[in-house]
Amino acid sequence: MDGAQKTRRFRLDWLIYILAAAGLISLLIWATTSELSRIPSRDAAADLGQYGLITIRFSTDPYPPIPTGIVTLNFMPIDSRQRTVALDTLSYEYGPAGNDQPFRSGVAQLMSDSSGMFMAGAQFPTVGDWWLRVKVAKGNVQDEVRFTFYVEPAQ
């Protein structure tokens, strides 16, 4: 084997390694973005005018929600400094994706532990994508935010 063939083979081997690494990185990025797009954002901002922007942090228990039993909806209103915001009311309505008519609605209750968290119960009779519309009010100002999530089959 002369020097030219050895150099050429050396470069070809490195090219294969680089392409394999690039392929692996691309696969990881694709898998991560696919998973992130499946998990919706759990924070939404509401504009309460003179009281400023607040973030409504939403979670469910159990997570992900399932179509059997009561699912607890947790709402934490926070300001830009991550402090809880005292709201007058927090009401909600929810329904299956593709249908803008609410399936059910209610008013979340403020927890008595001074955490600032609001809680409510919900039932989701079917598996699939659902939407949740939250209306917040403080003083004479109100706004609404929307969340989407997936109800998974019970296991």
Q: Which residue has the higher pLDDT, 95 or 7?
A: 95
Q: Please give the pLDDT value at position 4.
A: 57
Residue 125: C-alpha distances to residues 55, 81, 105, 128 (Å): 29, 38, 14, 10
* 79-93 residue pLDDT tens: 989 999 999 999 999
Q: What is the mean pLDDT of the chain?
A: 86
Q: What is the mean pLDDT of residues 121-135?
A: 95
CATH number for the domain formed by residue range(s) 43-151: 2.60.40.1220
Q: Please give the pLDDT value at position 44.
A: 94
| pLDDT of residue 7 exceeding 70 | no
Per-residue confidence band for 3, with pLDDT thresholds at 50, 70 and 90: low
Q: Please give the pLDDT value at position 154.
A: 80
Q: If you ran DSSP here, which 8-state letter would residue 84 be given?
A: B
Buried b (16+ CB within 10 A) or exposed e, 107-145: ebebeeeeebbbbbebebeeeeebbbbbbbbbeeebbeb
Delimit the domains of the chain by residue range.
1-38, 43-151
Q: Which residue has the higher pLDDT, 36 or 26?
A: 26
pTM of the model: 0.71
- Residues contacting 138, CB < 8 A, separation 6+: 48, 51, 85, 86, 87, 88
